[in-house]
Structure 1
């Protein structure tokens, strides 16, 4: 591992993204998201993701097009991402949804023709800071087998819910696969193995090899219940106009719904009651010998606070070397 100060980590990823051809504004947007992943201990979505972005850019002959709104009403919008990376498209969709939810009380925004949208909790934390509750679901290429199968039919299909509260929101953000795509990519890059029972190769045989799994399928999380949830997320992503089975890392669907609690109740009182209920959950008596009960997003908040206090992150040497090569245009 290489220990990097937070400013050095940001400068490194920014240099790599700049060499890829991103504007200074876009670099800031993407780097903010990747660094937040690192702060929260989710390294598979952090600096290493910049390498995957660079590889995707090089593999694409047609340049991305501007993000555009193809249809909208006072409470909804459909966004064509123009094959831009999802960190940019997701922020565009979020800003649209926040503005519409503030104006109308509710907003539904779908985005298609994008890829790598990152952590949905990142967007929902911003929505919660704006006083809004919401849900985000995202579909993707067929890399996850349904329950009882060994061939990819679903994306890793994350889904997240967020609720405003003080001092921190309550956010539940999960993938519906046993292993996330970015996690498998990072393990393949580092020569590490997957956990047993998490993936299949192209022939349908169980595998620990992440490269083989990327050519085959990941298992679905949560048995038949997780499989059903993955199906629902795929269908929500398709509602944006995204392909049911996109080819490669492309045309992922991004579906966001935001609500203003003030439409139904006193917004300030709701935030206080959410916070109080979250505290009651944390105060639950733990099992004998167990850790204190947590609320979703507690781990992320605590890890981020600790990383900010420390001021450094540990990054695999192979990732640092590759980023330096990307930044140098090697």
Structure 2
């Protein structure tokens, strides 16, 4: 990251996020994304500007990302939301003109660790067809929620497309095919080619229900000032809402009841062939702990070679 022009502080911010993805087994959002970040920076003629606050109040802020990589911009937006919600009970922070904000669960862990409830939504470049269509009109449009409990937080982080952009990019790098039924080529025909999918459209997750959620997330992203239609990896919006439960209820009691409820969900009788019922983020948390115990993550040789080539430039 330093080799492609990031400050050491920003490089550390990006690296911590990407390594956490690797530890959680989400390799497509981990080290392969470092290659995508480097390619984006190296292919952009105009240097990024330092992010700056352009609107500010006791309970809100808007950050102009200056076309800086989203891991940095979203981190600042999250820290700002936490600070304002701690003092004012709630906060809404918008960031715009950024790209690659990564896994929303990364930010929601920070929000819940502060004892706050969080909601994050953001639009992305034109990649996903609405239900019933074959042309891209939505981004992959992730949305996430986080709730503090008396023990481990409840975090749900999902995209609204049937496959993530990072997964398709990684498949294209490795020369792998996509599963059937999740993408269209530029002519609207089903395809398993990552390159054709990137030029065409992904299918939406969840049929008409997922399509409706994708539309809502697009509008929430537009609230940041992001354009309605974006092409490529640029001009994206990131909206974070943080709420102190103490503004409406007894915060300790809420956290205790949330833990009790989570345990009750986990105790659900399982269907045939199912080992356990998990809460959202249980798998990620467990995988991360196991990876730390092993002390290693597994990286595709093509990805590692690409990282070495970039580092050699510095």
For Structure 1 versus Structure 2, the TM-score category normalised by the shorter chain is over 0.9
1:91 pairs with 2:75: yes
Render the CA deviation track for 1:208-231: whole Å, top value 9, x for unaligned: 011110011100000000000000
Long gaps (5+) in structure 1 = 1-16
Question: Whose relative contact order is higher, 1 or 2, with alpha carbons under 8 Å and at least 6 apart?
Answer: 1
Give runs of ≥4 in structure 1 deviating > 4 Å.
Answer: none
C-alpha RMSD of the superposition:
0.9
1:34 pairs with 2:11: no
Aligned to 1:185: 169
Distance, in Å, in 1 between the alignment partners of 2:237 and 2:178 is 27
Equivalent position to 1:318, from 277, 302, 306:
302
Aligned to 1:118: 102
Q: How does 1:28-177 map to 2 (within 5 A)?
A: 28-177=12-161
Long gaps (5+) in structure 2 = none
Equivalent pairs counted in the alignment come to 314
SS in 1 for 2:28: helix
1:220 pairs with 2:204: yes
Distance, in Å, in 1 between the alignment partners of 2:25 and 2:228 is 32
Shift of 1:247: 2.4
1:298 pairs with 2:282: yes
Distance, in Å, in 1 between the alignment partners of 2:276 and 2:158 is 21
Render the CA deviation track for 1:223-278: whole Å, top value 9, x for unaligned: 00000000000000000000111121001110111100011122122112111110
Partners of 1:140 and 1:245 within 8 A in 2: no
Q: Tell me the TM-score normalised to structure 2 length.
A: 0.99
